[in-house]
Amino acid sequence: MRVRLPIPANWQDFESLCHRLWKEVWCDSNAQRHGRSGQSQSGVDIYGRPVYGTSYAGVQCKDKDGRLGSTLTEKQLLKECADARAFTPQLQAFTLATTAPSDQAIQSVARDLNAKSTFPFDVHVWSWDEIEAEIACRPTLVNAFYPSAPVASDAPSVKISVSAPKDQFFAFFSRPQLVEQLGPSLKESLIQVSYELCDNAFVHGGARHIELSFDGTRLLIRDDGASFNPLAGLDSTKVSRYGNLGSYVLDAFRKKHGVDVAISHTRDSTNGRNDNVLQFEIQQRAKCVGVPAVLDIQVDLSTMFGRQGAKGLAEEIVVPIGTKEVVITVSDMFNVSGTIHFIHCLREKLPPSILLVISHPRTCLLGELSHLFDSSLVKFQPR
């Protein structure tokens, strides 16, 4: 039996909860709370760089007026979006996280705003229903904010609407239980093929909603679009840079994991619904959870400050057993001493059998400081 988590009693706790949640959803340990009470926040409470994005994303936590759980209106959504225009640098995505219940009318407004490109960023709304579902299956968040509540033993399903953010899709695949049960190699392959299949259902199948679920051995993708079996209908021989790339991704997945994962399609007409259901059933889990030899990690060092911050950032990086090489791609940085300390701390936690590669911009000073490290353990690679 799953326990419903209560809405935080005040907006400060709700904002703290959202900050911790989106750090995990974005896989961005550097995600920050923007300003403090009384300061202008340009419509953004939390900002960071999603691992799947190319620029900053922002979150506004609603409500701050003592009415947590109240209905979100179209007027409020438009106001928060208008305020977020002033955030610098310009956002790629803006999410309004609300304690209000899920509302199809508000989702429709967000969908219309995105279709018309009303704002220079994608607009998304997360209701308490979606927020609670993500918290429930993340042990660190449950223990921190709801210590007496049980952690979900499975990865609850998530419904994604046509206007939904990438956040909800990638958040599903970042849930700890799912990551542990799939392993990094299969997880990355499933993300790629699932994304293409979901996009195909929305764009070509006219789907309004897609539901993802995972019970430990089976991943299900359910959509309410037109009847279509991608296993028979997608043709990888038609792939070009202009289209049919989803066909190629599905074909590549089947070639790589065909022995380990059985894929099937059914048209489910039960309970008055007409859904496509695509099932990925893991048959040889032990083989699927293999670790890739090279682990690629992108690190934004621009928000790191001081040696303690560098040490904390290094400690947050998890390297699976079996990895042979860790590649850290760093952006432009102003904190040279902190960066060197970050590399030192990361090198200290890695066994000698793992090579640490630092990919850095040609214009920064890291290449000139490579002599500070043993070249057999740390390799500096300009790009």
Using an 8 Å Cβ cutoff, are 249 and 188 in contact?
Answer: no
Q: Which of 67-81, 161-175, 369-383 has the highest mean pLDDT?
A: 369-383
The confidence score (pLDDT) of residue 38 equals 44
The confidence score (pLDDT) of residue 284 equals 63
The confidence score (pLDDT) of residue 39 equals 46
Tokens of 24: 């995990």
User: Residues 249, 252, 257, 263: what is their CA dihedral angle, to the nearest 10 degrees?
Assistant: 50
The confidence score (pLDDT) of residue 304 equals 60
For the whole model, what pTM was predicted? 0.69
Looking at 30-44, 48-62, 100-114, 160-174, which range is the least confident one?
A: 30-44
Q: What percent of the chain has pLDDT over 90?
A: 22
pLDDT surpassing 80 at residue 254: yes
Looking at 81-85, 260-264, 283-287, 299-303, which range is the least confident one?
A: 283-287
pLDDT surpassing 70 at residue 188: yes
pLDDT surpassing 70 at residue 73: yes
Confidence of residue 14 (pLDDT cuts 50, 70, 90): very high
Q: Calculate mean pLDDT across residues 233-237.
A: 87
Looking at 109-118, 155-164, 195-204, 207-216, which range is the least confident one?
A: 155-164
Using an 8 Å Cβ cutoff, are 91 and 44 in contact?
Answer: yes
**Alpha carbons 186 and 202: distance in angstroms, whole number:** 24
Amino acid symbol at 232: A
147: left (phi over 0), alpha (psi -120 to 50) or beta: alpha
Three-state SS annotation for 58-117: EEEEECCCCCCCCCCCHHHHHHHHHHHCCCCCCCCEEEEEECCCCCHHHHHHHHHHHHCC
The confidence score (pLDDT) of residue 286 equals 44
The confidence score (pLDDT) of residue 64 equals 54
pLDDT surpassing 70 at residue 263: yes
The confidence score (pLDDT) of residue 377 equals 92
- Residue-wise pLDDT for 281-293, tens only, equals 987 654 555 556 7
Looking at per-residue confidence, does 377 or 273 come out higher? Answer: 377
**Alpha carbons 381 and 346: distance in angstroms, whole number:** 17
Q: Calculate mean pLDDT across residues 218-224.
A: 90
